[in-house]
Amino acid sequence: MHQQQFYIDGQWVEPSSSARREVINPATEAPAGVIAMGAAADVDRAVAAAKAAFPAFSATTREERLDLIARIGVAYKKRFDDMAKAITAEMGAPFKMLASGAQVASGLGHFRAVAAALKEMEFERLQGTTLIVKEAAGVCALITPWNWPANQMACKIAPALAAGCTMVLKPSELAPLSAVVLAEILDDAGVPPGVFNLVQGDGEGVGAPLTAHPDVDMVSFTGSTRAGKLVMKTAADTVKKVALELGGKSANILLDDADFPRAVKQGVLTLMLNSGQNCNAPSRMLVPESRLDEVEAIAAATLGKLVVGDPQGETTTLGPVANGAQFARVQQMIESGIAEGAKLVAGGPGRPDGIARGYFVRPTIFSCVTPAMTIAREEIFGPVLSIIAYQDEDDAVRIANDTPYGLSGYVSSSDLARARRVARRLRTGNVHLNGAPVDTTAPFGGYKQSGLGREWGAWGIEEYLETKAIIGHGAD
């Protein structure tokens, strides 16, 4: 109903132009919907609404914002299936295993984690006679990607609301349907007019004018490192605060004392989740050279149990990659691995057998990959694993850190103390030991070209706050 409208100042409104774009279902390559494409005029209208709403909303109490987030949680749970259907249609996540489970649940998880952090957060403290105050940053531009739509929208919207900010969301034009559902959820929950605004569009038509807008105080962007650099450059003229969560090329170090059957299987399945379209995917598996044959056999056997196919299928574990451009890139990267001499253990170019249509990729494993190969250097963002041999622990750490990225890392060892020591040596924003899952209460973000700032939980709220010192406040 609202696909071709924008949500501005508490109302569904008509866009400023007649430009439209089809949303393609990656499993069928057929249209799943049509959205309006925004322009600078729509951005101006949304930013003006957010600016007008800021004084009142930023003055709300902690208790009022906690009540709002609680109402959002209730409204969100009522729309679980609608959100899952939208995500499956727009980016191909298997409905039963992923879209209605991890994808949608992750969004609700962020609202809950932020609410818990907000209850404990200290916004004021006296330091001598100076009062240190943390207050809302202002109007925020939120720009989200197509790979985990509900997760990425929620982990920006929830902390921005908790901090007292107002916002304009620009979701990916490739996966915009879930944003419509989320806007309806926020409206049903009673988010005040102007506090949350939604404008659909691409980077050129909406992203750039939103990032450059003089009345936007902060930009929070998740996407590729290439696009993140453009966001920084565009935001620089108005010297606004910028938070970036960008690409990754995470190493998964299996130390020589690891439980290899368990660690290899877990590493393969973690990478293949969401068809490999995860910024923190363990795409480089580092193993002792003497165990290479064993690792290849376990990895290939694990891959053989995956079911690639219709996202609506009851047994499907892997859907398509999310769009045609990503399909082409993954195919190119697989071809480069073959051309540069990597050993193809499983998978390869083209679609899986029996599938003639849709952006389905054959889950692929390469071994004997050297750190200089393209598939070891560049983020593939698809179901492609590179197995790299190392000589000793120091060599493993050196290879792991030899990357322009630093988002995540993984270490497996039967000696937890040893795994901890190796984790401290990795130049990454987070490290998973022995298969530990993500923690939505912990900070998420990266070193180097993986971004700036942190999201999730209390650290997510901190990103949307400014710090003020009121000197002499406590003087007699």
Range of the domain at 151: 6-246+450-470
Residue 89 lies in a domain: yes
For 101, 125, 361, 449, 461, the CA distances from 428, given in Å and listed in that order, are 28, 32, 29, 11, 21
CA–CA gap between residue 381 and residue 456 (Å, rounded): 22
Two tokens, residue 219: 């930009």
CA 155 to chain centre: 9
Does 286 share its domain with 237?
no
What would the pLDDT profile of 295-353 be if each residue is shown by its tens digit? 999 999 999 999 999 999 999 999 999 999 999 999 999 999 999 999 999 999 999 99
Residue 331 lies in a domain: yes
Does 331 share its domain with 348?
yes
CA–CA gap between residue 382 and residue 361 (Å, rounded): 8
Does 41 share its domain with 59?
yes
Does 301 share its domain with 423?
yes
pTM of the complete model: 0.97
Residue 475 lies in a domain: no
- Of 369, 325, 334, which Cα lies nearest the Cα of 146? 325
CA–CA gap between residue 81 and residue 79 (Å, rounded): 6
Does 203 share its domain with 241?
yes
CA–CA gap between residue 259 and residue 357 (Å, rounded): 39
Does 276 share its domain with 194?
no
Q: Which bin fits 128, alpha (ψ -120 to 50), beta or left (φ > 0)? A: left
> b/e per residue, 9-30, with b = 16+ CB within 10 A?
bbebbebbeeeebebbbbbbee
| Predicted pLDDT at 1 | 82
Residue 255 lies in a domain: yes
- Of 336, 430, 435, 324, which Cα lies nearest the Cα of 377? 336
Residue 1 lies in a domain: no
Q: From the candidates 90, 245, 296, 463, give the one annotated as an active-site residue.
A: 245
Does 217 share its domain with 275?
no
Residue 207 lies in a domain: yes
| Predicted pLDDT at 357 | 96
What would the pLDDT profile of 361-404 be if each residue is shown by its tens digit? 999 999 999 999 999 999 999 999 999 999 999 999 999 999 99
Max distance between CA atoms of the chain, in angstroms, equals 80
List, for the chain, all residue ranges whose pLDDT scores fall below the cut of 70. none
In the block, residue with structure tokens 């070891």 = 376
| Parallel, antiparallel or unpaired: strands 124-127 and 166-170 | unpaired
Residue 476 lies in a domain: no
| 466 part of the active site | no
- Of 32, 37, 34, 36, which Cα lies nearest the Cα of 85? 32
| Predicted pLDDT at 299 | 98
**Which CATH number characterizes residue 275's domain?**
3.40.309.10
**Which CATH number characterizes residue 21's domain?**
3.40.605.10
In the block, residue with structure tokens 């000696």 = 415
Two tokens, residue 105: 């649940």
Does 322 share its domain with 212?
no
Residue 445 lies in a domain: no
Does 269 share its domain with 383?
yes
Does 372 share its domain with 459?
no
The Cβ of residue 231 has, within 10 Å, a number of other Cβ atoms equal to: 25
| Predicted pLDDT at 475 | 85
Does 34 share its domain with 92?
yes
- Of 361, 383, 323, which Cα lies nearest the Cα of 202? 323
Two tokens, residue 244: 């970036």
Does 238 share its domain with 279?
no
Domain count, the chain: 2
Q: What are phi and psi of 195, to 5 degrees?
A: -70, -45
